[in-house]
Structure 1
Amino acid sequence: MELRSTTANDLQTILGWVKNNQEMVMWSGPTFTWPLEYAQLERYFHNPNRTYWSAIDTESQELVGHASLLIDNDADLMRVGFIIVNPEYRGRGVGREFVDAVVCDGFQASTLPVMKLGVYAHNTAALKLYESLGFSKTGVVFQTTVDEEQWDVLDMARPAVTG
């Protein structure tokens, strides 16, 4: 797998990975509205405080993942988010390799000592992945209603590895 900057074409591919409102919210939180449209992704893609990564399978050259990193030095905040893996590649270790690479690149891009992320409490696969990569739950940051279901959003944090 290789990481590269996300392109406008990648956004169109990502749009095809999100099939319904619950999948959209699971990926992006309350950022977008259903039905998800390309114009919403374009607005997301133009935040100058974010770095956008795409993961490419080196054999097939297919897009297999996307994530972004928000670094706000004034607020002492580094937050990885919008992590999504191509549904055809889930369960194959792609997410682990991708998120690990994003975390490493994020810490190389910033001197901030902690990286944070948010995840829905019922997203057990993502929780296990993030915990295995050194993230710890720091608490429920808010609750939201999605299609008449109550979802808890957990905050997680990981310190930079020193030495």
Structure 2
Amino acid sequence: MEIRKLIIEDLPEFIRLRSEGLTLSPEAFGESLTEYEKKSIEQHTNNFPKTFDNFIIGAFDKGLLVGVAGFFQKRSEKMKHKGTIWGMYVTPDYRGKGVGKKVLSQAIQDAMEIEEILQIELAVISSNQSAKKLYESVGFESFGTEKRALFVNGEFYDEDHMVKMIK
């Protein structure tokens, strides 16, 4: 298993895995599969993280991308002490094998190298107990719940907001 930052050459694998996540777990993402599939390859390329403070960590097994976690640092002067984990997903066959924890831990480690980052935030569907346990296992704590945060296929989903203090 190789854990590393994605590079632009990994974009086709990322698009494949992201589409899988949006298909199999639509409630776990703010974006819909329909919205994602409307994007051109040029839009995907332009949106792909390319900086030290905006990146995606991936887990590869024999060249196949099987897990990801994105990170970005907030831009505004008053919020640049915060970063956000986004798009966390592990393909079903690799769940429960430590892949998610490895990807998440690497994202946190890389985020900690950014001098201004004092805390990392994320949001997780309230009913996703396995994801919440993973986040808690690396030091995230819940600080609130947004009721009816997402509306997917005629059903509302609450989101728990979590934070990990770094410094």
Scaled by the length of structure 1, what TM-score is found? Answer: 0.80
Residue of structure 2 equivalent to 1:81: 86
Residue of structure 1 equivalent to 2:17: 14
Residue of structure 2 equivalent to 1:132: 137
- CA change 1:83–1:44 in 2 (3 A) is farther
Q: Is the 8 A contact 1:139 1:155 kept in 2?
A: yes
Residue of structure 2 equivalent to 1:154: 160
- CA change 1:107–1:11 in 2 (3 A) is same
After TM superposition, the runs of 4+ consecutive aligned structure 1 residues lying more than 4 A away are: 46-49
Report the alpha carbon displacement of residue 44 of structure 1 after superposing the two structures with TM: 4.5
What amino acid does structure 2 have at the position aligned with 1:25?
E
Report the alpha carbon displacement of residue 46 of structure 1 after superposing the two structures with TM: 5.7
Residue of structure 2 equivalent to 1:45: 48
- Percent identity (aligned): 22
After superposition, the C-alpha distances for 1:105-143 in whole angstroms (9 at most, x for unaligned) are 111124221110010101111000000110000001342
Q: Is the 8 A contact 2:145 2:159 kept in 1?
A: yes
CA distance in 1, matches of 2:68, 2:109: 15
Report the alpha carbon displacement of residue 97 of structure 1 after superposing the two structures with TM: 1.4
Structure-to-structure mapping, 1:34-113, within 5 angstroms:
34=34, 36-37=36-37, 39=39, 42=44, 44-45=47-48, 50-57=54-61, 60-73=62-75, 74=77, 75-76=79-80, 77-113=82-118
CA RMSD, 1 decimal: 2.6
What amino acid does structure 2 have at the position aligned with 1:51?
F
CA distance in 1, matches of 2:36, 2:68: 16
CA distance in 2, matches of 1:146, 1:69: 24
After superposition, the C-alpha distances for 1:40-67 in whole angstroms (9 at most, x for unaligned) are 781643687632222223xx23212112
After superposition, the C-alpha distances for 1:9-54 in whole angstroms (9 at most, x for unaligned) are 222321452363x71331x22x335374172781643687632222
What stretches of structure 1 of length at least 5 have no aligned partner? none
- CA change 1:56–1:110 in 2 (3 A) is farther
Q: Is the 8 A contact 1:17 1:87 kept in 2?
A: no
Scaled by the length of structure 2, what TM-score is found? Answer: 0.79
What stretches of structure 2 of length at least 5 have no aligned partner? none
- CA change 1:146–1:65 in 2 (3 A) is same
Paired residues, number: 156
- CA change 1:24–1:107 in 2 (3 A) is same
